[in-house]
Amino acid sequence: MREIRYVDALNEALCEEMERDKNVFLIGEDIGPLGGGFGVSKGLFDKFGEKRVRQTPISESAIIGTAVGTAMTGLKPIAEIMYIDFITCGMDQVINQAAKLSFMSGGGIKIPLVIRTQQGIGTREAAQHSQNLEAWFVHTPGLKVVMPATPYDAKGLLKASIRDDSPVVFIENRLLYFKKDTVPEGEWLVPLGEAEIKREGNDITVIATSLMVHKALETAATLSPEISVEVIDLKTLVPLDIKRIIESVKKTGKILVLHEAPTRGGVGAEILREVMKEAFRYLVTPPRVLGGLNTPIPFSPPLEDVCVPQTKDIVKMVREIIKEKWNERN
């Protein structure tokens, strides 16, 4: 089977969906002849023209506002926000409009909108270009939140998101854009709300999304055969496949949730709330979250690396959890 890059898988998904449905169009900064800041829309302007690849000024509120309005009329906009940090400039349109209009109209209005954006730490772009904000959107009723980790899922989940009638915040990690993996040709989708066991194990469950899935797999490989680590890629945060998480925790009795975003107020806390509600009696050690530090991201490369979990940090915490018992904390 062919191998393609994450960025090319996204490009294929956009092209195929635009060919399939004439109501699908793109809107965002630099997405025309340049093909977007990271090349995701490369070639689409030449193929579909300026009517369906709408290049805009640098105005996130205008991009999302236009996308919401056109979605209300039955079109299917895919709005690109080059850095998730600057979605803050269009948050009224995301939170008070896109997320609410279907509910406020009693389902009479559909908002088939995808907001593509990217985040991540490790590209040395400092505090205003390195945030991980997925928890904001998980907290907002009415939005779906998708975070693919592989080229296969990037393509399949984007196609599924475009065909969904709800607004979807589709979050990519720019450190994954040039990662290659097998991606089949032909028509197929990856459904929203279904997590995947990337590696089976018996000693501990490690939950992750996006780039952290790869660090979790590196951890599992490093610890094998000393510790058997089960790695679960959530793929989507809303809807959340809590059933698969619970099934794994019942087997291992231990859980660690990983994310780049700061630990405080992160999605890890929400996942553990669900685990404690549904599987508390199966836990043999306290559940843990390993996330980023509660600090703006510095420009200095060594300092930036300290702010987000690295594989060595995950290995260390897994070993601590394996040794830990509830009564040691009492």
Burial of 230 (0-12, 13-18, 19+ CB in 10 A): buried
CB 222 within 8 A of CB 182: no
CA distance 325 to 330: 10
User: Is pLDDT of 328 > 80?
Assistant: no
Q: Residue 23 in 3-state DSSP?
A: coil
Looking at residue 1, what is its pLDDT? 83
Q: What are phi and psi of 130, to 5 degrees?
A: -140, 25
Evaluate the omega torsion of the peptide bond into residue 33 and state whether it is cis, within 30 degrees of 0. no
Give me the DSSP letters along 244-301. Answer: HHHHHHHHHS-EEEEEEEESTT-HHHHHHHHHHHHHGGG-SS--EEEEE-SSPPPSSH
| Confidence band for 327, pLDDT divided at 50, 70 and 90 | low
Q: Which two tokens stand for residue 189?
A: 């989708």
CA distance 312 to 215: 9
Tell me, what amino acid is at 149?
A
Radius of gyration (C-alpha) of the chain in whole angstroms: 20
* 259 noted as active-site residue: no
Using CA atoms, how far residue 254 sits from 2, 202, 266, 286, in Å, is 37, 9, 19, 7
Q: Is the pTM of this model over 0.85?
A: yes
| Confidence band for 301, pLDDT divided at 50, 70 and 90 | very high
- Interval 83-140: pLDDT, tens: 999 999 999 999 999 999 999 999 999 999 999 999 999 999 999 999 999 999 999 9
- As a whole-number percent, the residues of the chain with pLDDT over 90 amount to 97
Please identify which of the residues 29, 80, 129, 214 carries the catalytic annotation.
129
Report the mean per-residue pLDDT for the chain.
96
CA distance 95 to 68: 11
3-state class percentages of the chain: helix first, strand second, coil last, to nearest 5: 40, 20, 40
Please identify which of the residues 12, 60, 80, 260 carries the catalytic annotation.
60
* 129 noted as active-site residue: yes
Domains of the chain (ranges; CATH) run 3-182 (3.40.50.970), 196-324 (3.40.50.920)
Alpha carbon 72 to chain centroid, angstroms = 25
Average pLDDT over residues 60-88: 97
CA distance 242 to 177: 28
Average pLDDT over residues 78-86: 97
Q: Which two tokens stand for residue 156?
A: 């399949």
User: Is pLDDT of 299 > 60?
Assistant: yes
Q: Residue 208 in 3-state DSSP?
A: strand
Cβ neighbours of residue 68 under 8 Å, at least 6 residues apart?
93, 97, 98, 101, 111, 113, 167
| Confidence band for 329, pLDDT divided at 50, 70 and 90 | very low
User: Is pLDDT of 325 > 90?
Assistant: no
Beta partners for 24? 76
CB 44 within 8 A of CB 11: yes
- Interval 170-220: pLDDT, tens: 999 999 999 999 999 999 999 999 999 999 999 999 999 999 999 999 999
Return the closest-CA partner of residue 194 out of 239, 134, 247, 250. 239
- Interval 238-297: pLDDT, tens: 999 999 999 999 999 999 999 999 999 999 999 999 999 999 999 999 999 999 999 999
Give me the DSSP letters along 52-114. Answer: TEEE--S-HHHHHHHHHHHHHTT-EEEEEESSGGGGGGGHIIIIIIITTHHHHTTT-S----E
